C-alpha cells in the first residue's frame, strides 16, 4: 500500500499525467468549481475512507481513475444510482465538465478526488471496491516516457488491494503498445485473471461500456482495446 508519507509533497511519485489546466473556465463552470467541488471532493487526510459514511446504503463501490470529461463516470452513476462512484482526475477542465453533468442529472452518488489517482487508491480500505475503471490513460508513447505510465507493478498491486476478490478491473487504451504493456504487467502480478477467450472479447466494447468523446476522436494508433480482469481470490 502506498503510504501517506509516499504521497506527500516532498516525496511525490513520478507524475503519470500531463497538463492540469487548459483554457480559462466559462463563468458557469467556474462557479460550479467554487460551489460544488468542495461538497463532492473527498477528504483523504482522515485515514481510510468510510464508504457507508460517504453514501449510506450504497450497494457497491466503483472507482474510475482519470475520468477525463466525466461522460463515462456520470453515465454509469445515472444507470446505477445505488452504487457509489469515486473518480480521480487532475485536469481542472475535466473536473468542471463532470460537475456540470452531476448538476444537470442530479447525481447524488458521485464523489471526486481532484488530483492524482494514486492518492485516492492509498486512502481506500482493503477489498473496498467491486469495480475499477482505467479508461484511456495517458499512453506516454515515447519509450523514454514509459516510466510515467500509470500501469506499473506498484499500482497494479494497489488496484488488487482495493478490489474485493472477484472484483473487476477494466483497462482500455487505443495504443497497441500500452495494451501489451498493461496485459503483461497485470498478469505477471499473479493477482488477476484475464477471462478472455476470443479476439472479440478485447476488440469489441463490453456491453456495459459507455463511449466517451475522447474515445470517439480515435487519437491512438489502433482501435480501442478493452481488457477486463478479475481479481484472483488466491494470488498465483
Q: What does the pLDDT look like over 149-201, one tens digit per residue?
A: 999 999 999 999 999 999 999 999 999 999 999 999 999 999 999 999 999 99
* Residue stretches of the chain with pLDDT short of 50: 1-10, 17
Cα 206 to Cα 193: distance, rounded to the nearest angstrom: 17
Going from N- to C-terminal start, the domains of the chain cover: 9-231
Instruction: Supply the pTM of this predicted model.
Output: 0.88
Q: Which of 9, 93, 138, 180 is catalytic?
A: 138
Cα 137 to Cα 134: distance, rounded to the nearest angstrom: 7
Give residue 22's pLDDT: 54
Give residue 24's pLDDT: 66
Active site residue 10: no
Give residue 47's pLDDT: 81
Give residue 141's pLDDT: 82
Give residue 217's pLDDT: 86
Give residue 10's pLDDT: 43
Quote the strand ranges of the chain, DSSP E. 60-65, 83-88, 110-113, 129-135, 163-173, 192-193, 225-231
Cα 71 to Cα 97: distance, rounded to the nearest angstrom: 8
Cα 85 to Cα 91: distance, rounded to the nearest angstrom: 18
Query: Domain 9-231, CATH 3.40.50.720 — does that match?
Result: no
Cβ atoms 115, 3 nearer than 8 A: no
Amino acid at each position: 500500500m502506498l503510504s501517506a508519507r509516499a504521497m506527500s509533497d516532498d516525496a511525490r511519485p513520478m507524475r503519470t499525467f500531463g497538463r492540469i489546466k487548459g483554457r480559462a473556465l466559462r463563468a458557469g463552470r467556474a462557479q460550479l468549481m467554487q460551489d460544488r467541488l468542495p461538497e463532492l471532493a473527498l477528504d483523504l487526510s482522515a485515514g481510510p475512507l468510510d464508504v457507508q459514511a460517504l453514501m449510506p446504503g450504497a450497494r457497491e463501490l466503483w472507482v474510475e481513475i482519470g475520468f477525463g470529461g466525466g461522460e463515462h463516470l456520470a453515465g454509469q452513476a445515472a444507470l446505477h444510482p445505488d452504487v457509489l462512484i469515486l473518480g480521480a482526475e487532475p485536469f481542472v477542465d475535466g473536473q468542471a465538465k463532470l460537475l456540470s453533468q452531476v448538476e444537470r442529472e442530479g447525481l447524488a452518488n458521485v464523489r471526486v478526488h481532484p488530483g492524482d489517482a494514486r492518492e485516492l487508491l492509498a486512502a481506500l480500505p482493503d477489498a473496498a471496491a467491486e469495480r475499477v475503471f482505467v479508461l484511456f490513460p495517458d499512453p506516454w508513447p515515447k519509450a523514454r516516457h514509459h516510466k510515467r505510465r500509470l500501469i506499473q507493478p506498484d499500482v497494479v498491486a494497489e488496484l488488487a488491494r482495493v478490489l474485493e476478490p472477484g472484483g473487476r478491473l477494466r483497462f482500455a487504451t487505443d495504443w497497441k503498445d500500452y495494451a501489451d504493456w498493461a496485459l503483461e504487467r497485470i498478469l505477471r502480478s499473479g493477482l488477476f485473471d484475464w477471462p478472455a477467450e476470443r479476439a472479440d472479447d478485447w476488440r469489441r466494447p463490453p456491453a456495459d461500456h459507455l463511449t466517451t468523446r475522447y474515445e470517439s476522436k480515435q487519437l491512438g494508433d489502433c482501435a480501442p482495446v478493452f481488457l477486463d480482469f478479475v481479481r484472483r481470490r488466491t494470488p498465483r
